[in-house]
């Protein structure tokens, strides 16, 4: 073990008090500028902040749909709202089951339960933390109606195999692209492969309005339902006949639309920057014995929301906790675990079947099934949460930052090899 290591009193690879890492939490890791200010000023000067009758949200929807390569985009208030809208647009029955993943943000799952459907969870691939096709298939029952597929960390899920399963079992596919603006699988942009796609523009995402989201699809029927539902089933421009179904109000306003439009136009440059620095880091750390860079599916084009790696404990003489402490002491920005470090299905809301009041609706018969979410069904999830190092990536990272990370990881790996 080397005395040079910062954890043993040596000097740090990077003194982050003098040279902090760029962050998605402020301007250092975000691409904001005059473009956002100009469009915001236009909105304020117009006096019109409501989307109907305004210009920004409409224009953003048009340009984002064009970027993704689909006919239609609906802007909403968050990524969670987008998932909720996509699930609502399917018009399923209470108690119907939707399969999703154990490693994601709770926003992937809340919309399922809010529409009174039962979330069922599939275990992941330990290399990517993305749900596995065989694990999905193992969870299908006669009540399964849809999948919420999460493209985690900016890497697409294996959509060829997942779409084959969906076709075989006649399931809708919602693509949760909250973390994956610009990612592609097999040359196709995520959100264009399944039936309907959802994005988030929360502060940390590739493009951001602080909070915001989008639903995208070529399916006119699903989009018409999502659009009516998100606007309280208000018949804009038509004769008001009274509200038709239970809807909600998830409308985006013009101020958010202005920032969304400016950010949408910057997405190609944001992706270029993220890919340049992340791919440089990937190449460098792949040369360090004992470090395994993130496994990327050969058909995937990553959009780098999170940069991850794993260590090879057969090569290194330390465990994950020791390695983590040592790289953090070097000033490296990595931790382990994601979203609390426990599988989503272990959260009390699922363990206790406690969505509303004191009953167990929608799990309880006659609506649904008392699905039990058991630790032993998710061995790969537990392994991946404990053994994967992650850091949030952003467009502020440079090749110089990548070099510093390489030096820090190399120093620790060599000390423990």
Ligand X SMILES: Cc1ncc(COP(=O)(O)O)c(C=O)c1O
Binding site for ligand X (CB under 6 A): 78-80, 83, 104-105, 107-108, 150, 176, 178-179, 200, 202, 211, 213
* Residue 111 or 290 having the CB closest to ligand X: 111
* Residue 31 or 306 having the CB closest to ligand X: 306
Instruction: Please state, in angstroms and rounded to a whole number, the distance separating the CA atoms of residues 123 and 385.
Output: 12
Q: Which of 368, 406, 364, 341 is nearest to 102 (CA)?
A: 341
* Residue 85 or 135 having the CB closest to ligand X: 85
* Residue 155 or 310 having the CB closest to ligand X: 155
What minimum distance in Å lies between the beta carbon of 151 and ligand X?
Answer: 8
SS (HEC) of 259-325 = HHHHHHHHHHHHHHHHHHHHHHHHHHHCCCCCEECCCCCCCEECCCCEEEEEECCCCCCCCHHHHHH
What minimum distance in Å lies between the beta carbon of 148 and ligand X?
Answer: 9
Angle between helices 254-285 and 399-415 in degrees, nearest 10: 40
Structure tokens at 74: 């609906």
User: Could you tell me whether strands 184-185 and 300-301 are parallel, antiparallel, or unpaired per DSSP bridges?
Assistant: antiparallel
Instruction: Please state, in angstroms and rounded to a whole number, the distance separating the CA atoms of residues 79 and 120.
Output: 20
What minimum distance in Å lies between the beta carbon of 349 and ligand X?
Answer: 16
Q: CB–CB of 72/65 below 8 Å? A: yes
What minimum distance in Å lies between the beta carbon of 225 and ligand X?
Answer: 20
User: Could you tell me whether strands 306-311 and 291-292 are parallel, antiparallel, or unpaired per DSSP bridges?
Assistant: antiparallel
What minimum distance in Å lies between the beta carbon of 332 and ligand X?
Answer: 23
Q: Lay out the sheet containing 388-392: strands in order across.
A: 291-292, 306-311, 388-392, 335-336
What minimum distance in Å lies between the beta carbon of 171 and ligand X?
Answer: 19
What minimum distance in Å lies between the beta carbon of 320 and ligand X?
Answer: 24
Q: CB–CB of 390/306 below 8 Å? A: yes
* Residue 6 or 57 having the CB closest to ligand X: 57
* Residue 108 or 192 having the CB closest to ligand X: 108
* Residue 5 or 264 having the CB closest to ligand X: 264
CA atoms within 13 A on the CB side of 186: 10
């Amino acid at each position: 073990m080397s005395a040079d290591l910062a954890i043993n009193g040596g000097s740090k690879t990077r003194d982050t008090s003098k040279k902090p890492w760029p962050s998605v939490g402020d301007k250092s890791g975000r691409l904001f500028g005059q473009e956002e200010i100009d469009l915001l000023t236009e909105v304020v000067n117009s006096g019109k902040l409501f989307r109907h009758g305004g210009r920004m949200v409409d224009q953003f929807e048009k340009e984002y749909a064009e970027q993704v390569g689909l006919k239609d985009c609906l802007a909403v208030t968050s990524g969670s709202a987008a998932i909720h809208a996509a699930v609502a647009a399917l018009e399923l029955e209470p108690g119907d089951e939707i399969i999703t993943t154990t490693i994601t943000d709770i926003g992937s799952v809340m919309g399922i339960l809010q529409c009174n459907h039962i979330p069922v969870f599939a275990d992941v691939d330990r290399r990517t933390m993305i749900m596995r096709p065989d694990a999905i298939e193992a969870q299908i029952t006669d009540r399964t109606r849809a999948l919420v597929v999460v493209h985690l960390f900016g890497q697409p899920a294996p959509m060829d195999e997942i779409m084959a399963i969906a076709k075989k079992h006649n399931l809708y596919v919602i693509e949760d692209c909250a973390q994956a603006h610009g990612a592609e699988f097999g040359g196709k942009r995520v959100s264009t492969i399944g039936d309907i796609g959802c994005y988030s523009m929360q502060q940390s995402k590739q493009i951001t309005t602080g909070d915001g989201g989008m639903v995208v699809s070529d399916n006119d029927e699903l989009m018409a339902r999502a659009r009516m539902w998100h606007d309280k089933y208000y018949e804009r421009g038509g004769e008001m006949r009274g509200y038709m179904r239970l809807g909600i109000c998830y409308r985006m306003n013009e101020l958010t639309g202005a920032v969304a439009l400016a950010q949408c136009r910057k997405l190609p440059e944001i992706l270029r920057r993220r890919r340049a620095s992340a791919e440089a880091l990937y190449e460098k750390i792949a040369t360090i014995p004992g470090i395994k860079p993130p496994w990327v599916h050969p058909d995937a084009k990553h959009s780098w929301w999170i940069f991850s790696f794993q260590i090879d404990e057969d090569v290194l003489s330390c465990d994950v906790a020791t390695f983590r402490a040592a790289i953090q002491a070097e000033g490296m920005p990595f931790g382990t675990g994601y979203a609390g470090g426990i599988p989503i299905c272990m959260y009390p809301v699922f363990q206790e079947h406690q969505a509303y009041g004191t009953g167990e609706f929608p799990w309880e018969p006659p609506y649904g099934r008392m699905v039990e979410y058991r630790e032993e069904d998710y061995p790969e999830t537990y392994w991946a949460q404990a053994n994967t190092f992650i850091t949030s990536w952003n467009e502020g990272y440079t090749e110089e930052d990548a070099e510093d990370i390489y030096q820090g990881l190399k120093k620790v790996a060599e000390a423990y090899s």
